[in-house]
Structure 1
Amino acid sequence: MDTHAWRRLKHFLETKTPGWKLQNRLLISLILLSSIPVAIVAISSSLISNRILSDQTDQMHQVFLNQVEKEMNNQFKKFDELMLQYTYDNSSLSRFTNEDLTYRNFGLVNDLYTVLTNLRSGMENVVEIDFYSTPYQKIVTSSGLLLQPDEFMDPAALQSSRSLTRYGSWIDTRTHLNSRLERPVITYIRPTTIAGSNVVNSFFIVYLDAASLSAKLKANVSDPATYLVINASGNAVMHSVPSKVGTVVDFPHFREELMKGKNMANYRFTLPIDGKASLVNSVYSANRDWYYVSILPIALVKKETNLLRNLLFSVSIAFILLAVLIAIRTSKRIYLPVHKLTQRVFKQKAVADSKDEIVYITEHIQHMEARNDRLQKTVSQYHSHAEQYSLMSLLVGTSSDTTLHQDTFQDLPVCLLLLETDAVYLQAHYSRNDQFLLYYAIENIAQEVLNAKGITRSLMIQPGLFAIVYQPPSASPQQSRADATELLDAVRSYLKLNIVISADYSERGLQGIHDVFQQAKHALRYSFSLGTNQVIIGGELDPSVSDQADALVEVETLILHSLQSAQYGEAQELFAQIIQLLKDDSSLTSEVVKAYCSQLLGAMMHAVGKDFHSDTETMNMKALTVELDRQRNLQEIERFFHTRFFDNLMASHPEKSSLERLQIEQVVTFIRNHYDQDISLQLCADLVGLSSSQLSRTFKKIMGMNFVDYVIQLRVNIAKELLSDSANSIQAVTDKLRYTSVNSFIRIFKKITGTTPGSYRKDAQDMKL
């Protein structure tokens, strides 16, 4: 020890004024007293920080799991809505179930393959989309295969589909289903129904890639936690480790603990997993009976918090003067999890760094509120359209479900008004746009008049025919008559149109609206006798009027049926009965007769369609209506129909069968001259002025085989000639005959000839030798 230095220090202290030592001791005491609170604050801060970090880490995982669960449900919801739009009462799919899916019917199979390919390209994470036709027990895959059920190699999907009606079904992750699906897949089965009914006639079977969906479980690769989705059976439907997708999660007591959180929004527990104490967070999704789970070893959580505690404790003892810097460092460390949480939630690091995060979160919430407002508007529009469709279904009797109208109409009697305009007159005197403007005006007038009576819904059944359903405080025949009269006066005052209104009401509310609609529609038939601008109550009509109307309607139906089947002479004879029935009723005025005959002329022209309009000398509907209006009596009207309609029609088509044969010969010549080009049924139908369905029926009638079979047979015969020449390769023959691939050509060639193109060429060359 350096005693010399100690003596000098002692001498220095003794020379100072009295009390200096006490002041130094007090100073030391104050320093100690100030350091103890700092140390206590430092230790307390470290413990509190540890707790905050642990809680924030736990909340961060809970928030992330909730977000992942919502995102997954949104993914499945969007997927389900897309499939629902594509399959709900989709009449365009019926042609794939009306005919057998065979390679002989190549065009139909190829069209279905195109539908599957387009549908698959519009969705994410889809491995394969298959179409299962139940009437013919055939399956077409998006990879181009046509399979029988035993070849499909997924009996579970087929078995599940047989129990479905209108809604889809999910099958959780399965692995190694077959040679086509060797990856883990989640299966979705969506039934398609016949339009206008609940009859299921086919299914879409969709396979989603469970591994690619699992990639959405983890926000980034640096996250040390393990994320997985477990179903009620304990299988990993999705897993952040792709190799474990589809495996069974069999940690001791894991499933028992997990089941405890089934009825909780979030549930956490600790459990030894793989020999490590781990923190487990779970979110239960009732939509699919799944558990979204995160697993994080507790050691990873405590590692950073313990480091912070030790650092604060050591710095507080050794560097009291650095307390401010330590506080700044601590505040930064405390804020770091919040910063990471916002980056993980919004996934827009650049935006979060360039702007205060509280402001950014506020703007994000406002953006989400704006999106929700737009979504609410879209949902409201969808509900309005759905309500209109449901009301139409109730009226025509295709549905009895009143669920959509429970918030609109009470379970009380409702009134029904059927308003009919003279559609033929409008067609003859107004353009199409002007006609729909008038229809729009009629609906607005009806809403304005009847909204004051009660809740009102109106829709146009067909051009010129409106159904108006409303619920006044007390529905009755007298009320519906009075309201119909008021509506009639309003339409006549504003639009000057000739209309007829049939009024009725339903005691059982919407449950009986179909029967009332049928009665009211039937009552409209009597308008020809009563005249226009009338309110008709079906139960109050004179029996003689209803009998005469029924007789006319019956003969009208026979005339239209004869015209549609090209029995023009028979239709002319039936028309004579119409004239006689009109002559027998002396009460009919000239205006009523002309109005009735004008409507009948329009229906007859529509029935014959192109057979009448193909005559270049025939006048248009507007000119014919004007000419009909100039006829003075029934005798002249009868002569008008004979000379201007029946004579022109029969003169233009003396032999319809010979015309059909000529049309088919023209189609066959076109196919033979253009076999090396793309040929479709619609193209050939346009060539001869027929619809595709008319050409299909006529072609089979004349040729004895389907259109597609004839094209395939012709191309195979030409392929035989081309293959006989060794200079033509199989690829060249495939391209010339417009097949999509060599495999398709080989398959079709073998199906028709019983041998492959290569074997046929070899046999042909051997015969030449």
Structure 2
Amino acid sequence: MRIPWIARMTFKRKLTLFSLLLSIVPVAGVGLTSAYMASAHMQQETDRSHAAVLEQTGRELDRLLKTLHMDSISLASHPALSASVQAGPGIDRLTETLAMTEAIRRESNFSPLRWKASLVYVRSGSVYSNTETSRSSAASYLDLVSHYRPIANSSFLVTPAAGTSPPELMLFRPVPLSTAYTDGILVLHVSVDELVRFLDSLHLSTGSRLFVLDEHDTVVLSRNREDIGQRIPSLASRTREETTVPYEWDGTAYRLSVQPSAYTHWRYAVMTPVSELTERAKEVMRLTVAVSTGLALFWLLFSFLGSYRLYYPIERMLRRLHPEPGSRLPFADGLKELDACIARLVVSNRELERTVREQEPRLAQTLLRQLLFGEVTAKDLPLLTKGWQFPLEEGYFVVAVASANDEEAFLRRFREEERPALQAAWARTLEDSADGIAACLAVPMRPGRLAAVCRLPEDGNDALLRITEAFAEAKRRLPGLYGFSASLSLSGPLHGFDQLSEGYAEAVRLLRYRLTASPEEPITGEAVRDAQPEAAPAAERQKRIVGLLLDGNQTAAGEELGALFRHWQATGASSDAIFASLGYLLTELDCQTARLGVRLQEAVGEDPHQAVLRHASLPALERWLVSVVFPAVQSQIHAEEVKRRTLVVHSIRTRIDEHCEEELSLQRFADSCGVSVSHLSRMFKEETGMPFSDYVLARRMSRAKELLEHTAVPIKEIAVRLRYANVTNFARAFKQVHGTTPGKCRTATQAGPIIRRAHPNDLYFPGNNAK
């Protein structure tokens, strides 16, 4: 739709008007949009912060709860606790009770979560507890079991109620594990402070609040201890569909985000006051409005000055088209006058445009490609070039072939629509390099490969040398111009168009020697000897390289690889032969390392067979193998050995700790692990810091001291149980470890009370107060 008063305006005035509109409207629009986006960004940033806090909280608390459950299962299934529950409490069941307390102590010491335990004897109504804060009776625990009604032998959590002090989380599980709370009940007590310590470490704004809620929307954990046990009203209905919603509590508007736990029926909620968000958004709005106003005033002044400046080129063009006074066309608008002048120029040049042959370069390239492939002969040229001039004349030629060193990388880097323009520019680079030396025509043969044909002048030998140097310079400049490297081969002199196909085949064949040829010079027939490396020495070196790597001798493997590469360089091996040999080397290395649990592709981070093809020279290929492949394989092999050593030694230590009174032989352990005795001995000492025999001796002497201090077993029987032939050898070993004889140790123990505290946590049985 045309507006009449705008249509009647001159171009100069339209330019001024549109400059004003284009200057002010975008600034105002950008200002309003920026303010809105800033406000939305504040909201999104808060939501992302909530999501990150909730994710971190859920992950950590789920981990702690999983740890608590695993500890409870380990204790509930422990034979010592089951035996104690079946035997019952009392001083006459001291052996079972001590074993039970020792099992709880060990599990507590090895757990990353600090907890206390209570064991309820359902039949006798007694309770053992090692916590000073919870001295509940058996009836209170049984009431909780009746209230929560667990299914069969399932466990359940009891969350802290409002006003309880100190607040704690309790996990119930039957003992033995296969019963349904009929014999014994294990209760693990976790202080809320232990769980809230993680919540206190999270970074939240001043007014933000973080809760952990159970399935009844009751606060289980909170950074504010007073909130624990409180119930957040209407939370379930507000967060049923969305995880982030507005929420009002105690007269304050919040932005609430809720995330369910992946391990329990709990939910994690974080709230940020809306007032904090709106205040920051208002500050951004005020700043944006101020900046937008300043920019609008600046562009208003700029539009007035710029419109006059933009119109000045039109005035100058009109003065050049009509230098004589009075020769201007009768137009009030300068742009219309310029349009009329251009129309006259178009008409006068139309006849000239018809004579331009846009397709002549493409025809020349197509014909040259057919000559190189042998599809056209010299006899066909007069008919095919009728009406236009072929750039090359009959005479002596040389054929050059340039090919990207890594054609797959070339195809990945440049899209299909970009390749024609890139290869055309590459072809012009080759043609320009031969400019002034010989007539040259370059043509793309396929993606990543060009062919160039140069007609030699009368001084053929001197021109061939200069062409070789020019192409070498163009090859060196290629990475800086287009971002990839290429190899270039040059055929010998050829006579006539009919031999171009032979020259092209020769140049392509010479590219096979790009790895052993000089990286700075074109590949010529004189610089390449058509020889193949001997298969036997290469195969033997490859096996030695793999063996040295598996033995951990990376330096020797690198030296063997260097000798192999020097052998290839000296014999002038082709790229195909080198790649085949290296493929065998990588395959053999992959097979050998797979037996050790190491995959070559995972260690290197890519397919090594494909990575080999990217390198354009033997030095670069050797550097990649020595600095990337060998260290990666060595590191993975070492990591697998360390992991295996840790697992093996840990299992042996566990066996020794639990069965120190049995016959313990390093040979038996070596046979079960499938390693030699010397290797297992070295692994054990590296992992534990002491020899196998010293560790067994220390464990047996520790066991002997326990029997001497807490039992009345005769010393001779203790010696027999610990696999000593006589008491003398036993006493000598005991004194070597503890500095005293077994008799003195027992005498010192008997000087004290009969029943001594073996652990800081006393045995506690409400009802008889026995310790």
TM-score by length of 1: 0.37
Which structure carries more relative contact order (alpha carbon 8 Å, separation 6+)?
Answer: 2
Rg larger in structure: 2
TM-score by length of 2: 0.37
